[in-house]
Each structure stands twice: as C-alpha cells, then as structure tokens.
Structure 1
C-alpha cells in the first residue's frame, strides 16, 4: 500500500473528516435554503445533503481500504459522529 501524500487530505477540517469539501458544500446549500425561504431551495439542499453524504461515506471507505496509514479516528463527514 502507498502512503498518503502529506500535502493531501491534511489541514483544516480535513484533520477531522475525510469529506471536508462535501461538508462545506452541504453547509453552503443549507444557508442558501435558509436565505431563499422556498420549497425549491429547501428541496435542493436536502437532495444535495443526501447525495454528498453518500459520496463522503464512499470516499472515506475507499481511503481506509487504500491507505494503511490513514487515520482511523477520522470520520467521513461530521466530526466525531459520522
């Protein structure tokens, strides 16, 4: 197995979750839904959350399988929970 490049997947929220980019986008669309006050914006935020959560979990499982030195304490999407 190869080692994780030091410049990749470290720093900021990546120290706590594998999918920090997904978490950021979910937060962004949740804010849009709050600002939009419409069924359409809320539906889009929910859809985005479902899709990106599944992608974050899949990426996390791949990292764990591919890299033996990948931090086992790191979560997929939500720090300390998921």
Structure 2
C-alpha cells in the first residue's frame, strides 16, 4: 500500500458480533510506517499475559487510536451488521 503512494494505513477490527447480549466494539489504530512492536499479532494468538504489555506499546507508538462502542439496544434496532458499521464510524 505504501508503494501505491499511501502515507497512512489504518488497522481496524471489531469484537462482539457473536454474543447474544452486549455491545459491539470497533477499534482503529494508525502506527508509524516502520513501527515494530515485539509480539504484535492476531490477538487470539497472543498469550493473555502479554496483552497489557503489547497494548501499552501500541498506545505509546500509535499516531492515532479510535474506539467505537454500540450497545445492545442499538444492535437490536438496526441489526449486528449495521451496528458494526456504526461502531467503525465512531
């Protein structure tokens, strides 16, 4: 993507699409181009004891972080797909 001329790339993910109750949460992060964070990978592959350490490293190095939370009442009104899109727009 950088070779195509982009200067910033945003990583975005969501959680909460599977549960029957509770919010859907989306997060977006922009890290510097050559950022290296040891152990950063798919969160399902990171040992739980490393989560906080990696989270703090991301917070320290991120150019920007955004979090969107849509509660279960909105999910019930608009459906999980639309609620996920709303969380990503927050």
Report if TM-score (shorter chain) is over 0.5.
Answer: no
Q: Whose RCO is larger (CA < 8 A, sep 6+)?
A: 1
Going by fraction, where is strand more abundant, 1 or 2?
Answer: 2
Going by fraction, where is helix more abundant, 1 or 2?
Answer: 1
Give me the TM-score of the superposition, normalised by structure 2.
0.30
Give me the TM-score of the superposition, normalised by structure 1.
0.32
